[in-house]
Each structure stands twice: as C-alpha cells, then as structure tokens.
Amino acid sequence: MSATEIGPRIPLGAWIESGVDWVTDAFGVLFDLVRTILVASFDAAETLLTSPPWWVVVAVLSALAFWAKGWRLGVGALLGFVVVLGVDQWDNAMASLALVLVASFIALAIGIPLGVWAARDDRVSATVRPVLDFMQTMPAFVYLIPVVVVFRAGVAPGLVATIIFALAPGVRFTELGIRQVDREVVEAGHAFGAPPGRILRQIQMPLAMPTIMAGVNQVIMLSLSMVVISGLAGTRGLGREVVSALSTIDIALGFEAGLAVVILAIYLDRITSALASRSPVARALQATAAR
Amino acid sequence: MTILAADGVFKVFGRRPGEAVRQLRAGASRDDVRALGTPAVIDASFTVEAGETFVVMGLSGSGKSTLLRMLNGLWRPTAGTIRLGDADLGSISARDLRTLRQERVSMVFQHFALLPHRTILENAAYALAVRGVDGAERRRRAGEALEMVGLGGWEDHLPAELSGGMRQRVGLARALAAGTDVLLMDEAFSALDPLIRREMQDQLVELQQSLGKTIVFITHDLNEAMRLGDRIAVMRDGRIVQIGTSEQILSEPANDYVAQFVADVDRTRVLTAGSVMVRPRAVVVVGAGPRGALREMRDAQTSAAYLVDRNRRLLGVLRDDDVLAGQRRGVETLAELTRDEVTAVGVDAPLAEIFAPSAETPLPVPVVDDDGRLVGVIPRVTLLEAMAPTESANGDGSGGTAAAASAPPGRTNGTLSAPATAVPA
Ligand SMILES: Nc1ncnc2c1ncn2[C@@H]1O[C@H](COP(=O)(O)OP(=O)(O)OP(=O)(O)O)[C@@H](O)[C@H]1O
Ligand SMILES: [Mg+2]
C-alpha cells in the first residue's frame, strides 16, 4: 500500500520549487550582489594566501601556531604544511583555507550578535533555536540544490551552504556564554550605574569569552567539514579534488587531498583552542588553578 | 534626616503579581496567593536615617535580598513606594536611575562580584570609571579606598590571587571609592569564615565611625546583626515582623517568632568589646618623651594617655602628674612612668568580661587586638549605655546593669600583658 492510496499526495516539493523560482526572480539583484561580495571576499583571501611565495605563507602560519601555543605546535604545523606541499595540494589547501576563513568570519559576524540578542531576550531565543536546529540537522545536500540555483555554480554557493551549516554553534555558544555569566557580577554593573552597552562590553562579553571561543572553534571546524560538499557545488579547493577523485575512482588523489583536509583541520582546531585559553578571563582562571 | 523610605512595598514574582497584591492587602496569607505568584516582600514600610546602620535580618527565603534590590531600583516594587533622598524609585527614568546609582548608592555583594580579568585597582575603580572620572583621579581615589580597607600594595594583583576576605575588602573598597552616601550590603560577610568575618565586621564598624555612611546591611546571622546594627528589622516570610534596636529586639520581641530567634542569645555575650569601643583620645608613642606626652594630653584635654610602642602595642597608661614629676626628675624614657592600673581586653571579649576591668579604674578600658595593639577604648559610660539603653525603660532591669553596679569598686592591680581575650567559636 503506498501513501498515495491514503489520500492526495502533498506537493510540498513542488511548492518549494516554485517558491525558489519566485525568490530567484524577485530578489535576483540582491542575490547577485551577495554573490559578488562573497566571490570578491573569497578571491581576496585566496590571493592573500597564494600570491606570496609558499615558504612565506608556511613561515607565517607556523609562527602563528608557535605564538598561540608554543614550539611544539609551531613545529607540528611546519611539518604538516610540508606534507601538504609534498603531495602537491598546496594551492588547493590554500583555496580551502580561504573558504573556511571567509565562511567562518561571516558565520561569526552573524552568529555572535544573534547570540547576544538571544541571550538578552527570551522570545528571540525561543524563535532562533528551532531555526538553528533545522539548519544544522537538514542534510547539506538538500539545501545545496536551491543554493546552487540561486547563486549559480562556483564559490558563492559553497560559501553560502557552509555559512548556513556552520552558523549554529556561533549563536548557541554565545547565548550560552552570556547567560552563564555570574548574575551577581552583571548585577554589580547595574548597581554602579553602568549602562547596558557597557555591561555587555566590559562584563558579559569578556566573561563569556572562553565559551564564545569554543563556539568559534566549532564554527571553524564545521566550515572545514563542508569543504567536500562545497566542492560538489564547484568551489575550488581540496573538496573539488576529492569529488573528482571520487568520480574517477582515483584512490591516490583522494587520499592525498583527504590528508590535506585532515592536516588543515588539526591546525585550525589547535590554533583556535589555544586562542580560547589566551583570553584575559581564561588566563585569570588559569592563574587561580595554578595556585 | 531620612535617606531611605519604603512605604507599603510589595514584590511578587510570578504570573499575576497585581492580583496577588490585591488579595494580600485584603488579608490573604502568603500561601493563599501561591497560585498567583511568589510574594517575596509583603507590605514593607520603614525609614533609614542618615548615618545609620540598618540591618535586615531573617532566615533564607524571607525576602531580604529582594527588599534590598528594590532600594537601588535593581528591581521595581510591585506596589508601594520607595524614596531615596528626593527621588521616587518607582517613577524615575532608567537614565536618572543610573545617575542615582552612580552618585548616591553603591552595593557590596555576597560573593564579591569582582571582575576576574581586571586588577584589584581596576575593580576598586569600577564605579568611578562608569561615572567617567579621568584615569589619574580614578586611580588615586581607588588607591585610597584600598588603603582604607588595608589592601595597599595589592593594586596590581588579580582577584583570583586574593583570599575570600581580601576579595570582599575589594568589594567594600569599590563601594567606598564610589563615594556614595548610601551603602547596600547583601550578606556581604556570609561567604567568609568566622574569624575573617569578625575582622570584616570590626573593620566596617571602624570605617563607619569615620565615614558615617548610611548602611543597609542584610544578614541571616543574629550576632552579626547585633554587632553592626543601630536598628534591626526582622523579616519572616516576606513580612517585616519587628523593627528596633538590638536591645529592643532582645528584650521586647514582638512575637514568638522573634523571641525564638533570639532565645539563645545572652545580650552580654552578643556585644563584644570591638562592637562598642571608640577611638582613644590620647595615644602617645614611646619615643615622644615626657614633653611630647604632656603636649598630647593637653591637646586631647585629658589627664591620662595610653602609651604604645612603634607598632602601636600597648605598654601602659600615663598620668599627667606622673609624667610631670618624671620630667622634673629628668626621666627621659616614658616607659618608666607608666602605671599598671588598667587591664586591657581583647577585641572579641564579650561585654560580660569587661565589667571587672572597667570597675578597676575610671579610665576607659583599652581594647587590644591579637598582637596586643591598641585598637580602641571603652569608656565606662559607653559600657553602661551598651548594657541598658536609656530609651528602653525596662522595669526589671537588665542583668548587665546590675552586674556593673554591684561590681567591687576597689582598685586591683591588673596586668596589661594578659588581655582577657574570648576564644572565638
Ligand atoms: N527572580 C525571582 N523569581 C521568582 N522568585 C524569586 C526570585 N527571586 C526571589 N524569589 C523568591 O522570593 C523569595 C525571597 O527571596 P530572597 O532572595 O529575597 O530571600 P532572602 O531572604 O534573600 O534569602 P537568602 O538568605 O537565601 O538569600 C524566595 O521564596 C524566592 O524563591
Ligand atoms: Mg539573599
């Protein structure tokens, strides 16, 4: 017995399709603008990473690791990037890194203020939460199709899909972090007559920073996990290599590109978690623990 | 002058606070209106006078914090009015309320509420920074406040590096640096262990003597209330059941509840030397010589002075005639001219233990800390007043007064080196 025998089939898919068509027509100009901005940002980031000689970029990225965590991570990063160079995936890795950086930046630029708003207003929180759940649990392939229709193949749909997928932790961790801030300390701000903006900047954000940084880490890792899927949409980088390796059953290429993704992932993860522990509040807490 | 005035104040948390207030006014009990909300404060009316320490005491959940938070507008009353100076906190705009908090009323918190990532100095200067006081001035005033609470030298440390007692001193310094005339303290010392707590209470009493702030102090500890409060309000289940001086609360409890609360408290045990002592008028440092000692006594218009060493440790009592005679004889060291006629008592000595030393001499009884340093004196009249306040015409006469009156008037030679120090619980 098929579902259609129970009653008329709900043409949900058709409705969505005509909705997407309508949106594409009605907001075509807007989408073109967004597309232009996204492509330009990506190009700028990619140029920044690929136009200097490779050894300069490797040196800078390793120095960043050294500064963030110490010589071990610095050396580890150096070795990792040498491997990426060795398997001839440098340009692709830098394209993927550019994608991750741009997507994460935009996701955080949207997510953190939204999280702050949600922390201050229960109704906003109640509205935002199911939307985030939806965005995160919906399989990326599902919205990749309309996104490609709207933004056409290339970098833009990859970025948009990545931003949608990676947005949630930025919002969630920010909201959680701010709600977790010791109520009495916030109250102290009010009791001494500080205006709300000042309390947000000088009390809530700094005290929530360790949690927010954990969110930043999550956003970046989720962005990276979308690299392959954005490759499907035609975005340059390691993802497209993996996709083409898949379609030609090229085990060697698939492994090399995959390894480069893993190296990037470890690098970004270690750097962001090290940065999280460098916030003033995290340091103050470490000072307590050390005593 | 009345600084704070609450009139018929209600605060109900919950779904239908207005209706709950209406029913409470009509005589409903706290439990009757449970479905409408939680009445945290019910029909509270009181005034706090300038320079007074007003203590609000009650068990956990009796509504003390809620009441306090309405006094600086952190929470608005569901009904009733609260006036701070000329301002009606119910109708004031958010901006004016902020100004009022910056200029008139500051707060000390139970768990200190310091910014963990800011230094002690920055924390102490917080209120001034909010008010827009410029950097140098801000640091100067915050530094002074830290000095006042005995935290000079800790300016550049982080709160995490300090003990609980020290952190609360920072909280106190932050409120003092704000320079407001009203200080709200919500169980400010409850998170501290008993010894530190006593120390903080003493420090507050001492600061209060010189600063004359108007303080509303919340506590669930009767002893603390007695030590600090000029007047005490006892709260139960959201209602203020009695307001009065500690003596009134002890001797004329308004109902069984209050009586139960204070049952195990003997007044002479509650009040300690530290809580009634005053500043000594004439103190001479040992190096001053007879001439200096005489000048000090002349300036203070007394005929006796306390001799201390460079660390303020009490050495003895100087009489003007002894010093004068000594000077004629050419004695240069003051220590030779002291009399051992006064027994010093410890800061924590209960009043009961002070009658004997007090009876030995007409001079005020010196009070010393654990290191033997002179921290204050108790004139006999202060002692008597503390035992039997004139306004409470208590027919049966308190045991304390009787004890004082019947104490032997003869002089005995007590020793100064063995202060009668009570062992703290
Ligand atoms: N924000 C709130 N929402 C709902 N109910 C509250 C809120 N704050 C306090 N209450 C309730 O109001 C009553 C009084 O609370 P309050 O904190 O004023 O008591 P307290 O005397 O300060 O107690 P404690 O000694 O435990 O601090 C309690 O029953 C409490 O549950
Ligand atoms: Mg409380």
- Residues of chain B with Cβ-Cβ distance to A290 below 8 Å are none
Is pLDDT of B279 > 90? no
Is B101 within 8 Å of B72 (Cβ atoms)? yes
Taking only the tens place, the pLDDT of each residue in B288-341 is 888 888 888 888 888 888 888 888 888 888 888 888 888 888 888 888 888 877
Rounded to a whole number, what is the distance in Å from the CA of B294 to chain A's nearest CA? 48
Q: Cα(B207)–Cα(A242) distance, rounded to whole angstroms?
A: 73
Alpha helix segments (H runs only) across B230-379: 246-251, 256-262, 267-270, 273-276, 289-300, 320-329, 355-360
Rounded to a whole number, what is the distance in Å from the CA of A95 to chain B's nearest CA? 38
Is pLDDT of B89 > 60? yes
Query: What are the CA-CA distances from residue B343 to residues A254, B38, B202, B256, B357 (Å)?
Result: 92, 55, 21, 40, 6
CA of B37 to the centre of ligand 1 (A): 12
The predicted structure's pLDDT at residue B144? 92
Question: Which value does ipTM take for this structure?
Answer: 0.79
Q: Which of A185, A190, A191 sits opposite B115 (nearest CB)?
A: A185
CA-nearest residue to A184 within chain B is B113
Is A102 within 8 Å of A41 (Cβ atoms)? yes
Is pLDDT of B420 > 60? no
Taking only the tens place, the pLDDT of each residue in A102-117 is 999 999 999 999 999 9
CA-nearest residue to B125 within chain A is A192
Q: Which of B115, B118, B138 to mutate to probe the A interface, most A CBs <10 Å?
A: B115
The predicted structure's pLDDT at residue B269? 56
Is pLDDT of B83 > 70? yes
Is B387 within 8 Å of B398 (Cβ atoms)? yes
CA of B64 to the centre of ligand 1 (A): 8
Is pLDDT of A285 > 50? yes
Q: Name the amino acid, one letter, at A244.
A: S
CA-nearest residue to B158 within chain A is A284
Q: Name the amino acid, one letter, at B41.
A: V
Q: Which domains does chain A have, with CATH numbers?
A: 12-51+87-290 (1.10.3720.10)
The predicted structure's pLDDT at residue B264? 57
The predicted structure's pLDDT at residue A59? 95
Best mutation site among B15, B57, B62 for ligand 1 pocket (most ligand atoms within 8 Å of CB): B62
Q: Which residues pair with B304 in a beta bridge?
A: B319
Q: What is the mean pLDDT of residues B228-242?
A: 92
Instruction: Tell me the pLDDT of chain A averaged across its residues.
Output: 89
Question: Band of the pLDDT at B276, cuts 50, 70, 90?
Answer: confident
> Token pair for residue A29?
């100009």
Beta carbon of B66 within 6 Å of any ligand 1 atom: yes
Question: Band of the pLDDT at B388, cuts 50, 70, 90?
Answer: low
Nearest-CA residue for ligand 1 atom 30 is B61
Q: What is the mean pLDDT of residues A150-172?
A: 90
Best mutation site among B33, B66, B237 for ligand 1 pocket (most ligand atoms within 8 Å of CB): B66
CA of B38 to the centre of ligand 1 (A): 9
CA of B218 to the centre of ligand 1 (A): 13
The predicted structure's pLDDT at residue B417? 31
Q: Cα(B53)–Cα(B212) distance, rounded to whole angstroms?
A: 9
Taking only the tens place, the pLDDT of each residue in A69-98 is 889 999 999 999 999 999 989 999 999 999
